[in-house]
Chain A
């Protein structure tokens, strides 16, 4: 089996390698790909959209429809993971562990026992893994806000530098995932519930689609941001630039929420009790 697979793979590879001899040279400025469509984008995108980062301009404007479906793919992945993994049946464990915050003493409450009332003094912990690491917690408390600030910068500055809604959204999501890893899943779920992340994911894509629909209602083609010019009170070219920003924010929201949603469901296998 292994040998057959190896031979097929090598044969297939050498066949494609045979094809590469007719490829244009690597990095050749005269290759068809560099001569046909891309000069238009490079030379005109600044004049058309007032966005210096050509990738952002092409991504969110010229090929904005692709990007809308890219966001939808991500949303579909979040929805699919929820659909596949989430189990709503709660298994009540007989014993619950609580830790006294200031002393670090762990108490084990058997079934039917009275739970500690004052939840600020006691925190519930998991039997498999008990997060109690001052250094990690403090570091994360320091790092997470800066990560989020950077993520917002990436979203907002996508017009002028590498970045944009997608990258910023992933970084925002990663900051929440970091919170979930450094603390535990349950306390993260208290800050940002699954319902919130699901609704935010759908809302993010809705912002994108809604922008397109708005253009359509204003009489232009779907996702033709120029139609927004009267609403935004700007010139038609700046309307494209602003339209891209709105759309990028939608992408950022959706991607952040889906990354968190994916993590919630995969790290707890859909049970939402104990994370990593």
Chain B
């Protein structure tokens, strides 16, 4: 594996994680969480955990995001923090 790639993606994962919990729009947070999951999936693919990466891509970045968006539509987009 290439450690430069690893470091870049780790940084991106942390940035998107921080962004997902700080953004004030819940829909945006849901989408950023999807991005976080997808970057995480890339990280695991780099580490050789292909099955886990596959699952995370379909579950974390796919279905979880859809469920988040659905829940946000059923409740509210507003968030104070």
**Of the candidates B50, B51, B63, which one forms a contact with A170 in the assembled complex, judged by CB atoms under 8 Å apart?**
B63
Is A162's CB under 8 angstroms from B62's CB?
no
Q: Is the CB of A171 within 8 A of B50?
A: no
On chain A, the residues within 8 Å of B62 by CB distance are 170, 174
Main DSSP-derived SS at the B contact region:
helix
The answer for the CA separation of A98 and B66 in the assembled complex, in Å, is 28
B70 interfacial by beta-carbon distance below 8 Å: yes
Number of interface residues of B (CB under 8 A): 16
Select the residue from B51, B63, B69, B71 with max chain A CB neighbours within 10 A: B51
CB of B59 within 8 Å of the partner chain: yes
Q: Work out how many contacts link A and B, with CB atoms closer than 8 A.
A: 50
B residues 47-65 near A (Cβ < 8 Å) are: 50-51, 53-55, 58-59, 62-63
Q: Which applies to chain A's interface (DSSP): helix, strand, loop or mixed?
A: helix
Asked if residues B63 and A266 are in contact (CB atoms below 8 Å), the reply is no
Question: Which B residues lie within 8 Å of A259 (CB)?
Answer: 63
Contact A164 B58 (CB under 8 A): no
- The one of B55, B59, B63 in contact with A177, judged by C-beta atoms closer than 8 angstroms, is B63
In the complex, the answer to whether B74 meets A269 with C-beta atoms within 8 Å is: yes
Q: Does B7 contact A (CB under 8 A)?
A: no
State whether A177 touches B58 (Cβ < 8 A).
no
In the complex, A276→B66 CA distance in Å?
10
Residue numbers in B under 8 Å from A266 (CB-CB): 67, 70-71, 74
Whether A166 pairs with B55 at a CB distance below 8 angstroms is yes
> Interface size (A, Cβ < 8 Å)?
24
| Chain A, range 141-171, C-beta contacts under 8 Å to B | 162-164, 166-167, 170-171
Q: Which of B58, B69, B71, B73 contacts A167 (CB 8 A)?
A: B58
B interface residue numbers (CB < 8 A to A): 50-51, 53-55, 58-59, 62-63, 66-67, 69-71, 73-74
6 closest A-B pairs by beta carbon, nearest first, are A267-B70, A162-B50, A170-B58, A55-B51, A269-B74, A266-B70
